[in-house]
Amino acid sequence: MNSWRRALLYIGRRKKKSLFLFLVMCASLLSVMVAVGLRETSQAVTAGLKEKLSGYFTVTPNLEVDGTARYLNDDLCKEIVQGENLLTYNGNDVFYMSLPDVKLTPGRFTAAGEEEDAHAACFLATTRSEYQEQFYLDNLNLVEGEHLEEDDEGQALISTVLARDNGLEIGDTFQSVVTENYRGTNEAALGNVYTYQVKGIFQVKDESEADSERAEFDFPENYIFIDIQTDRKIVSDLRGGEFDWYRNGVNFYIRDSAQFEETLEEVADEFHFDTDGYEIEQNNGKYQSSAEPLERVSFLTGIFIVVMIVLGIVILYLILFLWMRDRKHEMGIYLAAGIGKKGIFGQLIMESFLLYVAAAITAGLCAATLSGVVGRMVFTGDTAGMTELISGHSGGIGYMMAATAAGFLVILAAVGMSFLTVVKMTPKEILSSN
C-alpha cells in the first residue's frame, strides 16, 4: 500500500484528531489572510484618498495692493498646476444681480417689501464646479445634470428648491438683469439682460429655515453657480473694461495630500505668494481625518500579522510535533512490517499536506468573503464609496500565498523533527518504549 492510501486511511480512521488539526490550520491561515487583506486594502484606500480627498490651499489677492488680483489669472494658475504634486485648480468670483422673473426663497427684503433687493441672488462663478468649495466640502451635492467646466458658456447650476419653485429643469433657461442697485461701476450696463441654461441642479445638505432677518442672496437655496466665461463677460460689462482674473481667490488642489506642507511652501516661494499681496488659507483636514485612522489600521494590522504568524507557527509546530511523537508505536509497527523510513515519512507528510491544502482552500474562500465584510465595517465615510478596493484588494494575494507556503515549511519542519527522534531507533526499541 502506497503513502497516499495510508495517509487517506489514517485521516478517515482518526476523524476527531484530523478535524482538530484541520481547524487549527484553517484558523491560523484565516486570521493571517484577513489581516493581510485588510492591511493591503487600507494601504490601497489611503493611496486612493490622496486624490479623492485632495487637500487644497486658497490664494486670495489683497485688492488694496495694486496688481495682485490681475496677476492671479488662468495663465498663472495653469503654470502652477504643472507642478508634480498639483492636481488642478478652481478660480472663484462673486457678484450679485437681480432675477426679476425668478421666485427666490424669501428673506428680509421680501418681508420689508423691497422688490428689487428681494430678487437679488448671489452669483458664484467657478472654473470647475466639482472643485468649488461648497461642492468639494459636501455642503452642496449635484443631484441632476453635470458640473460646470472651464470651457462652458451661458451655463448655470441651481438648487432643487429654486428649480421646484420656478418649474425649471435641465436645459431650461432663465435671465438676470442689471438693476440700479447692482450695476457695478459702469452706468452703461444698466438694463443688460443675461441668459443662463440650467446645466445641473444641486441639493443643499442642510436646508435653510425661514428667516426674515436674513437677506435673500445669503440663502444657499438662492445661490446661482455660473461658468467662468460667462462671469468674465458680465463682470467686464459691469466694470466697463476687460476682466480676466480671479478677484475672489483660487483653490489649488494637491495630488498627494501627505506632502501638503512641502508643496504649499514650494508654490508660495516660487510664485511670490508669501507677501502682503496675498492671503493663503490651508485646508487639508478632509484627507487627514480619513487618512490618519487608515494609517493606524495599517500599522495595527501589520503588528497583528506578525503576532498571528509567530503564534500560528508555534501552535502548529507544537501540535504536529506532539502528535507525531504520540505515533511512534505506529511507526515501529510500520518498520516491523517492512515499510521503509522514506515511505513512513512520506505518509506523515502526505497526511499533513492533505489537511493543510483543505485548510488553505477553506481559509482562502472565507477570507475572500470576510475581507469585504470587515473592509465595509472598517472603511466608512469618505472611503465607503471606494467599492472596488474595499471589496478586496488583489495586491494581498502574493502575501497570502507566501504565508501559505511558510505554513507548509512549518509542517515540514515539525514532521521532520518529530520523525528524526523516532527514526534513529530500531522497531524493537520503539515498541518497547513508553
Whether 380 has a pLDDT exceeding 70, the answer reads no
At residue 387, the pLDDT reads 45
Helix (H) or strand (E) holding 167: none
pTM reported for the whole predicted model? 0.63
Beta partners for residue 88, in sequence order: 253
Q: How far apart are CA 82 and CA 397, in angstroms?
A: 36
Q: Are the CB atoms for 194 and 205 separated by under 8 Å?
A: no
Terminal Cα-to-Cα distance of the chain (whole angstroms): 28
Average pLDDT over residues 31-44: 72
Q: For residue 224, which phi and psi values (nearest 5 degrees)?
A: -120, 115
Whether 376 has a pLDDT exceeding 60, the answer reads no
Q: How far apart are CA 47 and CA 255, in angstroms?
A: 10
Confidence bin at 395 (pLDDT 50/70/90): very low
Question: What does the pLDDT look like over 88-107, one tens digit per residue?
Answer: 999 999 999 999 999 999 99
Question: What does the pLDDT look like over 269-290, one tens digit per residue?
Answer: 989 887 788 999 888 766 666 6
At residue 175, the pLDDT reads 96
Q: Which of 13-27, 34-48, 242-256, 320-334 has the lowest mean pLDDT?
A: 34-48
Question: What does the pLDDT look like over 169-227, one tens digit per residue?
Answer: 999 999 999 998 887 788 889 999 999 999 999 999 988 888 888 999 999 999 999 99
Whether 81 has a pLDDT exceeding 90, the answer reads yes
At residue 126, the pLDDT reads 96
Question: Which position has the higher pLDDT, 268 or 417?
Answer: 268
Confidence bin at 260 (pLDDT 50/70/90): confident
Q: For residue 283, which phi and psi values (nearest 5 degrees)?
A: -145, 95
Confidence bin at 54 (pLDDT 50/70/90): low
Confidence bin at 429 (pLDDT 50/70/90): low
Q: What percent of the chain has pLDDT over 70?
A: 81
At residue 228, the pLDDT reads 95
Q: How far apart are CA 124 and CA 227, in angstroms?
A: 9
Whether 13 has a pLDDT exceeding 70, the answer reads yes
Q: How far apart are CA 316 and CA 356, in angstroms?
A: 11
Q: Are the CB atoms for 55 and 281 separated by under 8 Å?
A: no
DSSP 9-70: HHHHHSHHHHHHHHHHHHHHHHHHHHHHHHHHHHHHHHHHHHHHT--EEEEEE-TTSTTHHH
Whether 6 has a pLDDT exceeding 80, the answer reads no
